Homo-oligomer: A and B are copies of this chain.
Amino acid sequence: MKISILGGTGNLGKGLAIRLDLAGFDVFVGSRKEEKAKKLAEEYNEVAEKFGGGGIIGVENEKAAKISDVSIITIPWEHAFETAGKLKNALSEKIVVSPLVPMRFENGFARYVEIDGSSAAEKLASILSESFVVSAFNNIPAKRFANLEEKFSWDVLVCSDDAKAKKVVMDVVNKIEGLRALDFGELKNSRIVERLTPMLINLARINNLKPLGLRFD
């Protein structure tokens, strides 16, 4: 299966690209400029090779979207909607994953930013009306995830209004070592899921702990 990581410059993009490569998927790292994408892919492959992988390919965002069955939008939420709008045609009939969490920091504490009273995933779905939008990976501590030495056991809540697309994404999640996908119903429930991330960040800060992931047990 071909998976693209669109705007994969951040830690979540890095962790996803390398870990999905190691899980055996064909991974495309997308960026606005092909040159930058190729450079990123090179950097990620260097890490992946140490663990027996290294097939990540860098391409321009639109091309990545067109090639792939599943595209994960790892663009900062402030720019994600605009970029998604430009990729609307390329992403048509495709599965699009939203790990987006609209957040701002105030006095060191994370605050969720309300998007039209719903969620970032729903906003994305309203823009990409011809795609199958699934929310997932919203609560992953990105810096730890990007570190391939890191061991974890986290749950990933997956929401979508399309049962088939949700199943595909859950299978992808479960292929990543240390992650377990949990079905959390319709896309609307991403409102709850996205709001867990500022909670996790604030909990870690108040209790002086490392960045925290979620486990239901």
Contact = CB atoms under 8 A, between A and B. Distances in A.
A53 B204 CA distance: 35
B206 A199 contact: no
A192 to B, nearest CB: 6
A206 B160 CA distance: 13
A217 B154 CA distance: 8
Copies in the assembly, this chain: 2
A209 B182 CA distance: 10
A195 B191 CA distance: 12
Contacts of A207: 182-183
A191 to B, nearest CB: 11
Interface in A191-208: 192, 195, 199-200, 202-204, 206-207
Contacts of A215: 214-217
A195 B212 CA distance: 19
A180 to B, nearest CB: 10
A185 B213 contact: no
A1 B66 CA distance: 65
Interface string A169-184: 0000000000000111
Contacts of A212: 216-217
Nearest to A198: B192
6 contacts: A157-B203, A185-B202, A203-B216, A212-B216, A215-B215, A215-B216
